Amino acid sequence: MKYVLTALLSLSFFLAGCSKSAKKETDEKASVPAPQEAKHSDTSVLHIETTMLRDLRITTIAVERRLGGESAAILGELHPNENAYAEVGAPVASRIVKINVTLGQPVNAGQVLAVLQNSDVGKARSEVISAQARLELANRTLERKRRLGAERIVAQREIQEAEANVESASAELRASKATLRSLGLNATDSEHLTDEPTFSLRSPITGTVIDRDAVQGQMADPSKPLFRVGNLGRLWLTAHAFERDAVRLESGSKARIAFAALPGRSVTGKVTLIGKQVESDSRTVPVRIEIDNRDGSLRPGMSATAWLIVGQETGEVLTVPSASLQRIQERWIVFIPKSDTEFEMRQIGRGRDLGGEVEILSGLKTGETVVVEGAFLLKAQAERSQGAGEEHEH
């Protein structure tokens, strides 16, 4: 019995000690402040592997300000400036014997584009040479008659006949030169006349060879141009506005133009002509927009979309292309490149849709760079990464 009481007392002391130890540990844990929940941030960084970037085809654009107000989007196509454009062809049916320029080559006014051959050219040149010889002979005869007339050796009638011969020879020379010009020869070609049946086609303006239909050895048709030359420093965008928008457009107003071939990039143009007649089949009015192209990035034939302000302007607004905005977890975000493989996901305040662009109310500043093409794929990668993180937590 004595041993039993001793064991019970030892067990009581042991349990009491454990209880105090547990209470102490609980008190220590309670004294440590609980970790606070991470505050929500409007930005985070998305990491992309270098091997994946090749497939994303990412393009970027700088955030910019533009005039607000109601806008109209119209489709159009680029054309050369018709005030600095020329189509050069053979004046008569001729064979092309030499081509001096290539497609896309810059040329100066008066530069030889091609050499052509025509039998009528040799004949016309021979007539000019003969007319010049007859005129020189008539002038020498007139001078001699006048000297003899001053000495009363010849009659006045012979002097008058010599003067008439000079006038007739001059008229023949003018006519033969006119025939030569009708065959495409200018004063430069006529300085050193021969009876060769070849002549040169020259560029009438300084510009770029936009198109070339000439092939060496072929017969040139006078009704078809062989070369098209244009100054591409300024181009014309010919667009078609619906009549309800055209009546509210103003000549000289600015337009923002985007090109299908240049995603993420836009240029500014100026309205220089608004048509005076509605086209019956489409119920549209042609609108000409002049665009600066000194960097040579634009080419005739490109399709484009132009956004024009119609009605009253409402000041400037901050805008980005619609394709740059993505929606993730009920938030509108844009991707901002931070390095070659890192993109900041920044929440923004979205405003009005402005025809291909979106007004930005908050979250961005003018001049910041956002991703346009490839933003949707970055969004998919971000959602995939978030999903993987949630599965890992579970």
Range with the largest mean pLDDT of 19-28, 120-129, 361-370: 361-370
In a domain, 15, yes or no: no
Pairing of strands 219-220, 94-99: antiparallel
pLDDT band for position 232 (cuts 50, 70, 90): very high
pLDDT in tens, 32-87: 343 333 333 445 888 887 777 767 778 888 887 876 666 677 889 999 999 999 99
Domain CATH code at residue 327:
2.40.420.20
In a domain, 30, yes or no: no
Same domain membership, residue 216 and residue 113: yes
Residue 245 neighbours by CB under 8 Å, 6+ apart: 72, 74, 308, 310
Q: Which of 3-17, 116-130, 286-300, 330-344 has the lowest mean pLDDT?
A: 3-17
Domain CATH code at residue 99:
2.40.50.100
H/E run at residue 174: helix 156-182
In a domain, 49, yes or no: yes
Same domain membership, residue 292 and residue 160: no
In a domain, 363, yes or no: yes
Same domain membership, residue 95 and residue 50: no
**pTM reported for the whole predicted model:** 0.57
In a domain, 16, yes or no: no
Same domain membership, residue 247 and residue 146: no
Same domain membership, residue 182 and residue 163: yes
Whether residue 5 is predicted with pLDDT greater than 60 in this model: the reply is: no
Whether residue 112 is predicted with pLDDT greater than 90 in this model: the reply is: yes
Whether residue 141 is predicted with pLDDT greater than 50 in this model: the reply is: yes
Tell me the one-letter amino acid at 279.
E
CA dihedral for 335, 338, 343, 346, sign (positive or negative)? negative
Whole-number pLDDT of residue 285: 92
CA dihedral for 20, 25, 27, 28, sign (positive or negative)? positive
Domain that holds residue 248: 75-81+233-257+268-310
In a domain, 1, yes or no: no
- DSSP secondary structure string for all residues of 326-367: EEETTEEEEEEE-SSSEEEEEE-EEEEE-SSEEEEEES--TT
Same domain membership, residue 137 and residue 113: no
In a domain, 25, yes or no: no
Same domain membership, residue 170 and residue 305: no
User: Of 179, 196, 213, which one is at a domain's C-terminal end?
Assistant: 196
In a domain, 19, yes or no: no
Q: What are phi and psi of 52, to 5 degrees?
A: -80, -25
